[in-house]
Amino acid sequence: MTSFDSTKVAEIHRQLHAHLPSDSALRVKALESLLVEKGMVTAETLDAWVEAYSEKIGPKRGAHVVAKAWCDADFKARLLDDAASAIRELGYLGNATAHLKAVENTATVHNLVVCTLCSCYPFSLLGVAPNWYKTAAYRSRAVRDPRGVLAEFGVSLADDVAVHVWDSTAELRYLVVPQRPAGTEALSEAELAKLVTRNAMIGTDRDLAAQPGEGA
């Protein structure tokens, strides 16, 4: 006779459900499939919009803010003093940036942003949050072992560089202002913005560099 272990079956059931998408994700996927099936939108169009918001629209705004800070000392001072007011000048203030703090990387300081409770993030400046930012592993380890996490992103810091970890909340979110790359004195603000990465504005990227031929 086949044995039945209710405890084991319940554990298997729990593990299976732990790997399922959330209810909201399933609803979004169902709606997407229905719209594509009815010919109201194509899958390629949806993919293009997702890419635009995750890789272009948001990060470009943040990059503009950083590049302007690199070029305009007065704006940089205003940004570091009151980031929300400074980005309002550029028309970028939104619900996720009404309480924003800008923190600056220097030769002796590196800043790293995390949200330990959920995934609060200045999406109107940086676009859609990357998946790794939302994971429990990043949210816990960024606080306990920031240098180890940074090393996994390819950021190697000297012992004399202090690491400041900033914990975002619904009331206060952060923008890292990376150091301006050397040899970019001849670049325009628009050209500088192209060098700024989303990860640099979170703090998981540090040493930005001009592309070959730029700044020459």
For the annotated catalytic residues, the residue numbers are: 115, 118-120
Q: How far apart are CA 42 and CA 190, in angstroms?
A: 33
DSSP symbol at 2: -
Which run of H or E residues covers position 66?
helix 58-71
Q: From the CB of residue 28, how many other CB atoms can be counted at a distance below 10 Å?
A: 12
Q: How many angstroms from the chain centroid is the CA of residue 22?
A: 21
Q: Dihedral (C-alpha) 157, 59, 214, 111: value to the nearest 10 degrees?
A: -20
Q: What does residue 169 show for φ and ψ, rounded to 5 degrees?
A: -140, 175
Residue 203 φ/ψ region, left for φ over 0, alpha for ψ in the -120 to 50 degree band, beta for the rest: left
Residues, the chain: 216
Q: How far apart are CA 85 and CA 67, in angstroms?
A: 17
Q: What does residue 170 show for φ and ψ, rounded to 5 degrees?
A: -65, -25
Q: What does residue 110 show for φ and ψ, rounded to 5 degrees?
A: -125, 135
